[in-house]
Amino acid sequence: MKNNKRFKKIRRRLRIRATIKGTAKRPRLSVFRSLRQMNLQLVDDENSKTLVSVNSKTAKLKGDAGDRKAKVAESFLLGKELAEKAKEMKIEEIVFDRGGNLYHGKVAAAAEGAREGGLKF
């Protein structure tokens, strides 16, 4: 069962990546979510470079790490922090890559935080 879930997620991720490409003007917002932390990156696929990266482990966020609602709130703040860093690099438009995860919970909160920070999807 565990391997089946993993393979389904990999297939979803590959299907999404087949249609989404990031450029220097409009980079791809890549989301990696685990049980303990979350990583958001803006990637230029044409030059294979990461332009901006934020991580919930190194970011200065408020909230109890054990509480689910706090993790969703941290994801929202992480998205806002990414948007601020992107604004410094004069990036306004992005393409969202959910990484095979469902657009729900932490992933959706990170996307909403990035939108509120000023990024356009």
What is the model's pLDDT at position 58?
80
pTM: 0.85
What is the model's pLDDT at position 62?
60
What is the model's pLDDT at position 67?
66
- CA distance to 16, 54, 81, 110, per residue, from 24 (Å): 19, 18, 20, 21
pLDDT in tens, 64-121: 555 667 889 999 999 999 999 999 999 999 999 999 899 999 999 999 999 999 999 8
Percent of the chain whose predicted confidence (pLDDT) is above 90: 68
What is the model's pLDDT at position 92?
94
Q: Domains (ranges, CATH) in the chain?
A: 2-116 (3.30.420.100)
CA–chain centroid gap for 30, Å, is: 5
**What does the DSSP assignment read for the chain?**
-HHHHHHHHHHHHHHHHHH----SSS-EEEEEE-SS-EEEEEEETTTTEEEEEEETTTS---S-TT-HHHHHHHHHHHHHHHHHHHHHTT--B-EEE-TT--SSTHHHHHHHHHHHTT-B-
CA angle 3, 8, 14 (to 5 degrees): 125
What is the model's pLDDT at position 63?
56
- Select the more confidently predicted residue: 27 or 3: 27
Residue 35 has pLDDT above 90, yes or no: no
